Amino acid sequence: MTSFLRLAIAGLFAVGLCAGASALEHAHWSYAGKTGPSEWAALAPDNATCKTGQQQSPVDLPAAKAKALAQHDAGIRYGKAAGRLVNNGHTLELDLEGAADNKVVYQGVEYRLAQFHFHTPSEHHLDGRAFPMEMHLVNKSADGAITVVGVMIKAGRKNKALAPVFAKPPKAGDAAHDLEIDLAAVLPADHKALLYTGSLTTPPCTERVHWVVLERPIEMSRAQIDAFRHLFRDNHRPIQPLNGREPVEETAGE
Ligand SMILES: [Zn+2]
């Protein structure tokens, strides 16, 4: 099949199913049924790692192994983040406008925050337990390496810092909203975290992603969680095997 024909067929599948500008860039995928997680690898050759990868995410993490982030491990330096909130058909995502003041320094390498988005229920588990939601803050280095900060979300008080995201979230196909979020006020004060090497949790499931999963959850109100679930009933990938990975142990020792 010519690549043009393949693209055209992928486009036919994507129109009306995948929302946003990325609709024609990849085969349609979803979180259930014939295009769900167990079928991702079969949807496109580029997705092979979703099936063959040995260091996939998300995983179940042992909360007891969480530790304070030492300077040589990872430093999360977030403040105000301005960007465009989009509903890309898979999640709500705030795409940032390249500000240099939001970054993670992971083992000496600087990763700038590119976007953050949400999943329900949480993708990672702590001690076998899922949370109602999980926030992923995706950071990229100059050479394209990725560090993702994962933050668990439990039901509780209204999250004022994230309120602009969930007050009137865009539906699939809606125009992007311009927003500014104070990420310093979103993250828990305690940056105790579990570090491990995994993958993107969406196709093409690219590996060698550094994960920094915070052990302390943040809170959102039931109304805020419901506002997200009204758009995305379930957008999580199931737990993947650790295959011998030891969360935290891989980091440089004291
Ligand atoms: Zn994610």
Q: What is the pTM of this model?
A: 0.87
Ligand 1 centre distance from Cα of residue 123 (Å): 8
Catalytic residue among 90, 136, 177, 210: 90
Amino acid sitting at position 128:
G
First to last CA, the chain: 55
- Per the domain annotation, does 200 fall within a domain? yes
**What pLDDT, on a 0 to 100 scale, did the predictor assign at position 100?**
65
- Per the domain annotation, does 151 fall within a domain? yes
Amino acid sitting at position 150:
G
Ligand 1 centre distance from Cα of residue 3 (Å): 29
In terms of DSSP H, where are the helices of 54-201?
Answer: 163-166, 183-186
Burial 170-180 (b: 16+ CB within 10 A, else e): bebeeebbeee
The residues, ordered by sequence, that sit 6+ positions from 39 with a Cβ below 8 Å of its Cβ are: none
CATH number, position 92: 3.10.200.10
**What pLDDT, on a 0 to 100 scale, did the predictor assign at position 254?**
35
Is 26 an annotated catalytic residue?
A: no
- Per the domain annotation, does 209 fall within a domain? yes
**What pLDDT, on a 0 to 100 scale, did the predictor assign at position 26?**
59
- Per the domain annotation, does 145 fall within a domain? yes
SS3 154: strand
Ligand 1 centre distance from Cα of residue 34 (Å): 21
- Per the domain annotation, does 27 fall within a domain? no
Q: Which domain holds residue 210?
A: 52-231
Q: What is the CA radius of gyration of the chain?
A: 18
- Per the domain annotation, does 6 fall within a domain? no
- Per the domain annotation, does 133 fall within a domain? yes
Domain count for the chain: 1
**What pLDDT, on a 0 to 100 scale, did the predictor assign at position 17?**
43
**What pLDDT, on a 0 to 100 scale, did the predictor assign at position 189?**
87
- Per the domain annotation, does 226 fall within a domain? yes
**What pLDDT, on a 0 to 100 scale, did the predictor assign at position 3?**
44
Q: Give me the tens of pLDDT residue by residue for the chain, a chain 254 residues long.
A: 444 444 444 443 443 344 444 444 457 999 999 999 999 999 999 999 999 999 999 999 998 888 877 655 779 999 999 999 999 999 999 999 766 689 999 988 999 999 999 999 999 999 999 999 999 999 999 999 999 999 999 999 999 999 999 999 999 989 999 999 999 999 998 889 999 999 999 999 999 999 999 999 999 999 999 999 999 999 999 999 999 998 874 444 33
**What pLDDT, on a 0 to 100 scale, did the predictor assign at position 171?**
94
Beta bridge partners of 60: 125
Ligand 1 centre distance from Cα of residue 117 (Å): 6
